[in-house]
Structure 1
Amino acid sequence: MSGLGPAGMDPTQLLLAHAEIRQLPLRYAYAQDFRDAELLLSLWAEVDEPAEYPDIDLHTVRREHERWFRKGPTVHFVGNHLIELDDAEHAHGTVYCWAQLDFGEEFVDQSILYQDRYVRQDGRWLFHHRRHLLWFGQARAENPIAQAGEDWPHSHTGRGVLPGELRRDGG
């Protein structure tokens, strides 16, 4: 990596680009966990040719999001995010993600690496495509969603409030 972006790029524009791009994986995770199709679809650039597995693009999201949303509760934790601006309209990045996925018959922890391509269209940074690379997935012996309800602050264990049960406005 050569730094934050191309030489000669305005520092303010560089910082804004990084801030806007950093929001994309966070919003992707939020949209997955809250089953927000409108948000999920809004994160992607229009592309002519559909991506091929393991890449995800707008064609993939349109085709698959309803299936993705049918599984039980999920938590996608976005960790490290390295961003490299190629020019004022194109960038690429690497995102680490820990996903906790309830498939009903099993609860799976996954460590995922996303290799992303970003493009700026109509003044907005968007995903061009994401390469979803599973490092590993492991089914848990017991599904934590099946636990009895928690009794916070008296107990630190139990099933609490899941993303689908929360209000999206933070209230």
Structure 2
Amino acid sequence: MTAVIAIQQLCHRYALAVDSRDIEGIGRLFIPEVRVGRNMTGRAALRQSFSAMLATCGATIHFIGNHTVDFIDDTHATGVVYCHEEVQPLGGTSWQVGMLQYWDDYEARDGAWLFVRRRVHRWYRQFPSQTATAQIVPGAADSTERSLPESFPTWQRFHGEVREPDHHENV
């Protein structure tokens, strides 16, 4: 069961790294020789690919749900991960929502489980309606909360923002 938990945590860490724009963190979740697209390999290529992709959208939220893990042997496994995603278009205020699955291959190296490959299979993506009656107000509800995604230090670095540290932020 320890390996299952480690693999599930890998998927949760991926979602957090993507949503917080921790590009270095995303790279560390994959094997060093990860295949990126048809012609590239390696973590540097993966980081470059994610940087380019994430620069085209605003905030993202990936909520991880059901997760099955099947072991091939002691160091190899496959899995299916359900994910509800919300994506804010760059410069927009509305949110696109969708439901997808990741079909994963995992490998244990040096005591840690890593992604070998992730494939996205999508059920749907719903774009906001022009006649929607609900209004989403971004940001913190009151002074005891902090706004996401701007509160992530990695988000600020990704967008080249400099912010004074707030020593009273929630941890």
Q: TM-score, normalised by structure 1?
A: 0.72
Question: How many residue pairs align between the two structures?
Answer: 148
Match of 1:138 among 120, 126, 136: 126
Secondary structure at 2:33 match in 1: coil
Specify the alignment match of 1:117 in structure 2.
105
Distance 1:25 1:37, change over 3 A: same
Amino acid paired to 2:79: G
Within a 5 Å distance, the mapping from 1:14-163 to structure 2 comes to: 15-47=1-33, 50-52=36-38, 58=43, 61-70=46-55, 71-104=57-90, 105=92, 107-141=95-129, 147=137, 151=141, 161-163=147-149
Q: Is the 8 A contact 2:23 2:47 kept in 1?
A: no
Give a deviation string over 1:137-167, Cα, whole Å, max 9, x none.
1111269897376645xxxxxxx82233256
Give the unaligned 5+ runs of structure 1: 1-14, 153-159
Aligned residue type for 1:131: R
Question: 2-side partners of 1:28 and 1:16: how far apart?
Answer: 18
Q: 5+ residue gaps in structure 2? A: 155-168
Amino acid at match of 2:54: F
Give the TM-score taking structure 2 as reference length.
0.72
Q: Given that residues 82 and 95 in structure 1 are in contact (C-alpha distance below 8 angstroms), is that contact kept between their aligned partners in structure 2?
A: yes
> Structure 1 pair 170/124, CA: closer, same or farther in 2 (3 Å)?
farther
Aligned letter for 2:61? V
Among the aligned pairs, what percent are the same residue?
29
How far apart are residue 89 of structure 1 and its match?
Answer: 0.6
CA distance in 2, matches of 1:61, 1:47: 10
Equivalent-residue separation in structure 2 for 1:147 and 1:166 (angstroms): 19
**Secondary structure, in 3 states, of the residue corresponding to 2:31?**
coil
Cα RMSD for the two superposed structures: 3.2
Q: For 1:126 and 1:58, how far apart are their aligned partners in 2?
A: 12
> Shift of residue 135 of structure 1?
1.3
